[in-house]
Chains A and B, each alone.
Chain A
Amino acid sequence: NAGVMQNPRHLVRRRGQEARLRCSPMKGHSHVYWYRQLPEEGLKFMVYLQKENIIDESGMPKERFSAEFPKEGPSILRIQQVVRGDSAAYFCASSRLGDLMNTEAFFGQGTRLTVV
């Protein structure tokens, strides 16, 4: 049973380009969470999705960032017109249930985005 798979592991983009980060949850998991970790900081919540639904996007910047979790395929975090401040490690987590007090959230290895 493969864990949460994120790709690419490393992504370099020039300012103004688009970045697409993919996350395949663990088998049987229908809840996906995206977190961002800036240098020397903890992980910050961005968005919580279920299949075809955004449940909570309170941590997403209002502009340039979007996320989806389609019925088929991985969850995608999309950053348009990237800026240097978007450089960070982006982690995806998945869980089987939508109640994290009663189910474990498993994290992927992350995608390190560098904007040059």
Chain B
Amino acid sequence: DQQVKQNSPSLSVQEGRISILNCDYTNSMFDYFLWYKKYPAEGPTFLISISSIKDKNEDGRFTVFLNKSAKHLSLHIVPSQPGDSAVYFCAADNFNKFYFGSGTKLNVKP
């Protein structure tokens, strides 16, 4: 039972443009969401998070939007840079247990 879903396995974007990564979840009890970035042969690294009491959180080039009614969140990266090329995982926290999506591989072309 996949409670967190990332339906786009890959995304290709031109350098300088906006990257939008999407994530859907099914459990309305989730109240804290995170995005992790992962390079090959490395562990995931924390990028940005959002609590369900907010609908937006911004950190530099990264912004996460949360639409609770639609059970949808998205990560916007602007402007995208080649170093952003990685796999991005969306996760929901439920009592110290992360439910991860299957990831979206972002390729930012120079």
Contacts and interface: CB of A to CB of B under 8 A. Distances in A.
Query: Do chains A and B interact in one complex?
Result: yes
Interface of A: 4, 6, 31, 33, 35, 40-45, 48, 55-56, 58-59, 91, 93, 98-101, 104-110
Contacts of A105: 46, 98
Nearest to A58: B97
A101 B93 contact: yes
Nearest to B93: A100
B32 A109 contact: no
A40 B103 CA distance: 8
B16 interface: no
Nearest to B42: A109
Contacts of A99: 96
B100 interface: yes
B63 interface: no
Contacts of B4: 42
Interface string B41-72: 11111100001000000000000000000000
A42 B96 contact: no
Contacts of B95: 56
Contacts of B46: 104-106
A48 B97 contact: yes
